[in-house]
Amino acid sequence: MSVANLSYRAVFALVLKRDLTIAMRHKDDIINPLLFFVIVVTLFPLGIGPEAQTLSRIAPGIIWVAALLSTLLSLDRLFKSDHVDGSLEQMLLSPQPVFILVLAKIVAHWLITGLPLILIAPLLAVLLHLNEQSYGALILTLLLGTPVLSLLGAIGVALTVGIKKGGVLLSLLVLPLYIPVLIFATSAIDTAALGLPYSGQLAIIAALFFGSLTLAPFAVGAALKVSTN
Amino acid sequence: MWKWLHPYANPEVSYHFAGKILPWLSALAALFLSIGLIWALAFAPADYQQGDSFRIFYIHVPAASLSMGIYLGMAIAAFTSLVWQFKLADASAAAMAPVGATFTAIALITGAAWGKPMWGTWWIWDARLTSELILLFLYLGVIALHNAFEDKNLAGKAAGILTLVGVINLPIIKYSVEWWNTLHQGSTVSKLGKPSMSVDMLWPFVFCFLGFIFLVSVFICIRFRSEILARNSIRPWVRTLVSEHIAQEKTNAV
């Protein structure tokens, strides 16, 4: 079967499977951002002091900021290696819509970096004495919020992939865009700690998620075309 | 209908047009700013609550509105450039970014200088201050991305995409910051609310505002011209322009 006749679903599955296979063969790419996440979170009690009350007050912020930073750290490999070995250019030249290809790569990125983050977050929440009522909110906000981080981050990587020293630039481009997610996620967790409903904040994060899911791949596609030129 | 616009797609025509309006804009800026600032700083009545420190608003408010206005202008230019492949729009967006960043910085610094006597502190995590700070970060991101590319055309396209992403995010950031502020610390500082200005305070403000708009246009015109020259440096018309300029310098020196 020629590539041109593949259905969108098949293309999506193909790219997703390829990226996951590559990630599985470079396991340190999965583990290092996760280790970074754990270490950054550990630094805060050391810097601030071990009082349980203070820690539980700032735990949502610490976990979310650490999540932002470790996502940022892992973004680089979203397109970098593909750009270096030329496969990115081939993908863009293929008859398939860039939207699908980009979306598959972003989903793969989230599965590799976002999902492990969510799995390990409750453990770190225990270390930071997070309020017991907040665990549900923490998981839900991470579940809805980390895909947004991957989607928005992909725009930044796509813009900087052709630049030699793109790393610092990437953080300058992407971090301001992460602010709304950070605000609503931590506010949801704080509200949950008070025993109040936090569905409003979740709804907004969900809106951010669907908004970026539909718009970001277009921006990424346009940016990749500029970068590979 | 659009026929009058076509000649300006040519960089040379646009360059000379910008050069022609530049002295007019400069004169208007000088006129309005000197009238407005002298009136505002020396003759307008002092505020009954804030005394003379309110006068910084004559600089702060125009700078703050222009910082957002320029970003919008940049986004429109970026959109024009991406959709219609209109290269001069790239040049104008590139000309606007540093001017906008400077005015954002001016708004932040004058705001801090006003906050010190009024709130007793240089900085408060007020929603407006915070969103202005984030706007500055967005500007710096666009400028940094622009500088990172060696090819000016690519730089313009990349920065254009970032500007458009930013302009979609700007309202989201603004509202989320406002909500964050009200959730975290209540309305302690929102007493800023629009005081209905008396007429003898308003007129100098109008002059200042128009003056700053003309000043920004002057800066953008100058930068737009140099952007055009930098992008077209291999074209014959730029070369003749430069050689004419050098010849004139020589005759002046003699």
For residue range A42-70, what is the model confidence (pLDDT) as tens digits?
A: 999 999 888 888 999 899 999 999 999 99
Q: Which among B157, B158, B173 has the least Cβ separation from residue A179? A: B173
Query: Do A169 and B172 lie within an 8 Å CB cutoff?
Result: no
The pLDDT of residue B1: 63
pLDDT digits (tens, 9 = 90+) for B9-19: 788 888 888 88
Query: Do B179 and A183 lie within an 8 Å CB cutoff?
Result: yes
Mean pLDDT of chain B: 83
Is residue A19 predicted with pLDDT exceeding 80? yes
pLDDT digits (tens, 9 = 90+) for A149-158: 999 999 999 9
pLDDT range class, residue A80, cuts 50, 70, 90: confident
Query: Do B161 and A219 lie within an 8 Å CB cutoff?
Result: yes
Query: Do B134 and A176 lie within an 8 Å CB cutoff?
Result: yes
Of all residues in chain B, the one with the smallest CA distance to A216 is B165
Query: Do B165 and A177 lie within an 8 Å CB cutoff?
Result: yes
Distance from the A221 Cα atom to the nearest Cα atom in chain B, whole angstroms = 10
Report the percentage of chain A scoring pLDDT > 70.
98
Number of C-beta neighbours around residue A70 at 10 A: 25
B133 and chain A in contact, CB less than 8 A: no
Distance from the A92 Cα atom to the nearest Cα atom in chain B, whole angstroms = 17
DSSP string, B183-222: HHH-SSSGGG------HHHHHHHHHHHHHHHHHHHHHHHH
Is residue A12 predicted with pLDDT exceeding 50? yes
Mean pLDDT of chain A: 90
Query: Do B134 and A179 lie within an 8 Å CB cutoff?
Result: yes
The pLDDT of residue A2: 60
Q: Which among B148, B161, B176 has the least Cβ separation from residue A184? A: B176
Q: Which among A190, A215, A229 has the least Cβ separation from residue B154? A: A229
pLDDT digits (tens, 9 = 90+) for B214-237: 999 999 999 999 988 888 888 888
pLDDT digits (tens, 9 = 90+) for B24-63: 999 999 999 998 888 888 877 776 666 777 788 888 888 9
pLDDT digits (tens, 9 = 90+) for A177-204: 999 999 999 999 999 988 888 898 999 9
Of all residues in chain B, the one with the smallest CA distance to A205 is B176
Closest to A152 (Cα-Cα) out of A114, A117, A96, A98 = A114
Query: Do A187 and B179 lie within an 8 Å CB cutoff?
Result: yes
A184 and chain B in contact, CB less than 8 A: yes
Give the B window 51-90 contacts with A, CB below 8 Å: 82
Helix (H), strand (E), coil (C) string for chain A: CCHHHCCHHHHHHHHHHHHHHHHHHCHHHHHHHHHHHHHHHHHHHHHHCCCHHHHHHHHHHHHHHHHHHHHHHHHHHHCHHHHHHCHHHHHHHCCCCHHHHHHHHHHHHHHHHHHHHHHHHHHHHHHCCCCHHHHHHHHHHHHHHHHHHHHHHHHHHHHHCCCCCHHHHHHHHHHHHHHHHHHHHHHHHHHHHCCCCCHHHHHHHHHHHHHHHHHHHHHHHHHHHHHHC
pTM of the model: 0.86
Distance from the A153 Cα atom to the nearest Cα atom in chain B, whole angstroms = 12
A207 and chain B in contact, CB less than 8 A: no
Distance separating alpha carbons of residues A199 and A188, to the nearest angstrom = 8
The CA-based dihedral angle spanning residues A81, A87, A89, A91, taken in that order and rounded to the nearest 10 degrees: -120
pLDDT range class, residue B182, cuts 50, 70, 90: low
Query: Do B158 and A184 lie within an 8 Å CB cutoff?
Result: no
Query: Do A222 and B172 lie within an 8 Å CB cutoff?
Result: no
